[in-house]
Structure 1
Amino acid sequence: MISYKEAGVDIDAGNSFVEGIKPFVKSTLTPNVIGGIGSFSGAFRLPSGYKKPTLLAATDGVGTKLRLAIDANKLDSVGQDLVAMCVNDLICNFATPMFFLDYYATAKLDVDSAKKVVKGISDGCKIAKCALIGGETAEMPSMYEAGDFDLAGFAVGIGEEDEIDRTKFVKAGDVLVALPSSGLHSNGYSLARAVIKKQGLDLDSDFGGKPLIDVLLTPTRIYVEEFLKLKGEISALAHITGGGIVENLPRVFPAGLGAKVKRGAIKTPEIFKLIAKSVEQSEMDRTFNCGVGMILVVPEQNVSSVLSKCDGYVIGEVCSGSGVEMI
């Protein structure tokens, strides 16, 4: 006879993990959550006050930033990364995040490590003002190497049907306001890791007053609060992820419009300058956010008001044409 535990899956550890994360999950619950953790699915009451309520959903992972976090045994912030990558996409379609679910797959469940990850997810959910209403943890010893795990996240939001397509609100002359990123966020880490290896950098070495590894693992900024504060004054938002400004910003433009972005106006953190020593500018432009985590498209008459309510700054404008010209 052989048990499930001998085959590599520990049901008791899984149950212990569920009990251990209940306080984290409970801390994210909002009045619209129905029930709690432990059922077969999560339940959420639709908010009222919408004329044509529409559900929007986004899913993402953390990418190979997770490789750095696992190797360094610094797992406290990757959960926030997971939430951020999903909810920052939702708000670009003017959706207010409502709830989040996660998927955690590993070779063998390390309860303490997994709890750190879920604590980070709950922290991210609180910043994003959404509820963590469920998740799945899978032990798959034949699928992952010992000590490894992967993450996926799923966020659902609600918006007005007529407000989802932002391209119809964008006009020539609109001003581009950059909201700073907190660092690399969760994109380009395969290239960043290759650069670090090529340059022979020590991840524990000092970089601007703290270890380089901590700079690289700075959690992705969540922009939900800024969106909720400014949504009545902006035309569109573009989440600057993989593809950089040049590939993400055009997604909010209608046919016939493009943008001019002043490269010199961008406030670029030192970590990007370090990477740029080994990477061509064109490759930097289409791989990293280079310091800009979100771009707001703002009607000219609202620029002063928007700037007074956030840490954004002007980097360019919408113009006739197509694509993004970095000038």
Structure 2
Amino acid sequence: MHRLLHPRLSGAGAPRGRQARVRTGSRTGPDPLEPKLPGPISYRSAGVDIAAADELLEDLGERLKSTYTPLVLAGLGGFGGAMRLPPGMSDPALVLSIDSVGTKIAVAARHGRLESIGADLVNHCANDVLAMGARPLAFLDYVAHSDLPNSALEAAIGGVADACLKHSVPLIGGETAQLPGIYRSGQLDLVGAMVGVAETEQLLTPDRVSSGDLLIGLPSNGIHTNGYSLVQRALDGLDHSAHNPEVGRPLIDEMLAVHRSYVNELTPFLDRIHGLAHITGGGICANTARIVPPGLSAQFGWGSWQVPPIFHLIQRRAQIGFEELAQVFNLGLGMVVIGRRELADDLVRQIPGSTLVGQVIESAGARAEILR
């Protein structure tokens, strides 16, 4: 029997000490009917290698710290990242966005090309906070897998760090989770959260958009990071490594082309922009409708921009109509800018590939539509 000595009780008449007995049962060994295991089991043999995780962090440490800016107060190794807000802001608002690479990551993993998906993730999230009128401030990532070697994880996380560096955004924290039983062998997922900051009065909200505003389209870099469940099925059976004459390069290069960031190009124009639509899942109309107020409609003129041939190939192979194609893919427009004529002229002149694609009109109908 185990005995626990309780603390002495205070007050008059309290005993000098009391003992209590805790019964633990009479068995001192395992239940003879309990199923036997073949031998000792360690955390590593159960599928989680702590030593490998520590080694990964050590190998990546300097690369991650290279993304830090003077605003960072605490980063790698703590329970959380900490940083100051940029100086000189009078009424700062934080803008937060979280996303993943989606099933594009399966394509990259199959072909052993995980370096690019980090940039896909950072650029996607950076564009989302930009669409609110914010500048990227900090980034966090989450990688989950079952049994990938450190070389693969280092490629993916290193790609995140490199993309953060290009945006002058610190990778201020993250998590690498080894989850056997949840992910199959060779699988991984990559998720990221971007924190942006803007003056509250400069946030881009639908009330800034008005009738007579113009729509300026900035070209995408192909598929970006949406629709890959359909892409993989549509392009199944084709040689992904050979040169494809329809798209002008190997299909795998087209499929893994990095999601374009528009942050550095558009930030100088933020004070003149009325609205920004990052064209991701849902396509041109669904995403543009999010920034158009009731009573107005963004009207896109079909044929006013160049549609990359990969989308025609997917449509033909999948045998889908234009409506579904437009609901899934960006069709060549990665970002739609809304503003006045002077802004449109400057964007078309200064950003290669930018083009006027439509206008905002008064309408009680759909808030965005493509006129064919």
TM-score by length of 1: 0.96
Match of 1:116 in 2: 155
Deviation at 1:302, TM superposition (A): 2.4
Q: Distance in 1 between matches of 2:345 and 2:248?
A: 34
Given that 2:202 and 2:271 are in contact with CA atoms closer than 8 Å, whether structure 1 keeps it comes out as no
Q: Distance in 2 between matches of 1:174 and 1:126?
A: 35
Q: Distance in 2 between matches of 1:137 and 1:34?
A: 22
Match of 1:188 in 2: 227
Q: 1:314 aligns with which of 349, 352, 356?
A: 356
Q: Distance in 2 between matches of 1:121 and 1:257?
A: 39
Match of 1:84 in 2: 123
Write the letter of the residue equivalent to 1:288: F
Match of 2:26 in 1: none
Write the letter of the residue equivalent to 1:69: A
Deviation at 1:314, TM superposition (A): 0.6
Deviation at 1:35, TM superposition (A): 3.4
Unaligned runs of 5+ in 2: 1-39
Given that 2:148 and 2:185 are in contact with CA atoms closer than 8 Å, whether structure 1 keeps it comes out as no
Write the letter of the residue equivalent to 1:282: E
- Is 1:291 the counterpart of 2:335? The answer is no
- Is 1:146 the counterpart of 2:146? The answer is no
Q: 1:175 aligns with which of 175, 195, 214?
A: 214
Q: How does 1:159-174 map to 2 (within 5 A)?
A: 159-174=198-213
Query: The residue matched to 1:8 in structure 2 has which SS?
Result: coil
Match of 2:369 in 1: 325
Given that 2:64 and 2:171 are in contact with CA atoms closer than 8 Å, whether structure 1 keeps it comes out as yes
Given that 1:14 and 1:109 are in contact with CA atoms closer than 8 Å, whether structure 2 keeps it comes out as no
Distance 1:299 1:101, change over 3 A: same
- Is 1:211 the counterpart of 2:253? The answer is no
Deviation at 1:30, TM superposition (A): 1.3
Match of 1:74 in 2: 113
Deviation at 1:162, TM superposition (A): 2.1
Unaligned runs of 5+ in 1: none
Query: The residue matched to 1:252 in structure 2 has which SS?
Result: coil
Deviation at 1:251, TM superposition (A): 0.8
Q: 1:12 aligns with which of 33, 48, 51?
A: 51
Equivalences, count:
325
Q: 1:259 aligns with which of 275, 298, 301?
A: 298
**Bigger CA radius of gyration:** 2
Write the letter of the residue equivalent to 2:355: Y
Q: Distance in 1 between matches of 2:368 and 2:95?
A: 27
Render the CA deviation track for 1:210-246: whole Å, top value 9, x for unaligned. Answer: 3211110011001110221211221110000001011
Given that 1:178 and 1:293 are in contact with CA atoms closer than 8 Å, whether structure 2 keeps it comes out as yes
Given that 1:24 and 1:118 are in contact with CA atoms closer than 8 Å, whether structure 2 keeps it comes out as no
Q: State the identity %.
A: 39
Write the letter of the residue equivalent to 1:314: L
Render the CA deviation track for 1:142-198: whole Å, top value 9, x for unaligned. Answer: 11111111111011011122222421211111111111111110000111111112x
Q: Distance in 2 between matches of 1:74 and 1:150?
A: 14
Bigger RCO (CA 8 Å, 6+ sep): 1
Q: Distance in 2 between matches of 1:301 and 1:74?
A: 42
Match of 1:47 in 2: 86
Write the letter of the residue equivalent to 1:280: G
Match of 1:102 in 2: 141
Deviation at 1:3, TM superposition (A): 1.3
Render the CA deviation track for 1:77-105: whole Å, top value 9, x for unaligned. Answer: 00111112211111111111100000000
Render the CA deviation track for 1:55-77: whole Å, top value 9, x for unaligned. Answer: 11100001110111111111110
Q: Distance in 1 between matches of 2:304 and 2:74?
A: 49
Given that 1:107 and 1:146 are in contact with CA atoms closer than 8 Å, whether structure 2 keeps it comes out as yes
Hey, which of these two has a bigger chunk of helix by percent? Answer: 1
Write the letter of the residue equivalent to 1:318: V
Q: Distance in 2 between matches of 1:129 and 1:227?
A: 15
Q: Distance in 1 between matches of 2:148 and 2:322?
A: 41
Query: The residue matched to 2:281 in structure 1 has which SS?
Result: coil
Deviation at 1:255, TM superposition (A): 1.1
